[in-house]
Amino acid sequence: MLIALFAFVRNQGTARSRIAEAVRRELEAAALLSADAQEDREHMFGSVARFAEIIGKRTAELHALLGNSEDSRFAAEPYGQAGFETYRENVIALIETAFRVLQDTPSRIGNRLLAKRRPLLAAARAAAPNMEGTVKAFVHGNLDLSRILVVQDDVVLSGLGVPQSSPGQDMHYKRPTLEDLAAIIHSFATLTGEVVDDLAKRMPESALAIRRLATEWQAHFQTSMFSAYEAAGGHVTPDPELLRLVLIAKAAGDLRNILLRQPGRLEWLDRHFDTLLTPSP
């Protein structure tokens, strides 16, 4: 039986706002340091790493609660190659749909983004992750840093809903557990991009250093969160190709919203696609 309690949680704001403050403060301070002083990058990343660790731990606990069930609608089960093939076809369709809107709004940045369509489709079609150990279960399904509340030295995951399903059908949100983690990683990349763009305008002489540090911190955030997730018993195989495919889907899904509501963010999205298309070392 799954019981959900809904109550007011006294908090210190969302993880998104708190992490954005920390990233801004520490990136701005780091940009003023000499190259030698920037060698201690992990120390500068410390406060953000602590957020990543506790978020990873609490997400693992959520998945354990939802997946360790005798109810087959909730219980975790192998995702398998067939599940991945279906997911990949859905990602390909999403990329095609997302980029179609750019054809109706020609512009310099729009043309640059359109040039990413073929490489993104090629990356999706070529993805061949190791699916061994990957499971699907009832997950949050809409988890990002704005839905995570900071409570003293801890966090509370909010916004979880239980969708309805027809008899004999899978739960709507029975997906790879990796999707929740990828959503958090994408949320961190988005807020970091916003902070970096703002700092780069105010400190143009340090723009390259700021962007380099931000890229490194995104990798640290991802590593710290995965490590804490697995240490807390989370079931996930962070295969680089599968993670990249899920992140490509998250970014492609944002394209229409950014185009219509935040066109100034298209430059960041263009750089973000470049990062996703660069193979992991």
Runs of H (alpha helix) within 37-162 = 41-44, 46-67, 80-100, 108-114, 117-126
Q: For residue 53, what are the domain limits?
A: 15-277
Span 22-32, average pLDDT? 85
Q: Any idea what the CATH number is for the domain that residue 183 is in?
A: 3.90.1200.10
Residues 6+ apart with CB under 8 A from 179: 139, 141, 246
Q: For residue range 194-210, what is the model confidence (pLDDT) as tens digits?
A: 999 999 999 999 888 88
Tell me, yes or no, whether 208 lies in a domain. Answer: yes
pLDDT digits (tens, 9 = 90+) for 232-263: 987 765 688 888 999 999 999 998 888 888 88
3 within domain boundaries: no
- What amino acid is encoded at 72 in this protein? S
Number of domains, the chain: 1
**3 falls in which pLDDT band (50, 70, 90)?**
very low
Domain presence at residue 44? yes
2 domain-assigned: no
Residue 8 lies in a domain: no
Within a domain: 148: yes
| Residue 4: inside a domain | no
Is 6 part of any domain?
no
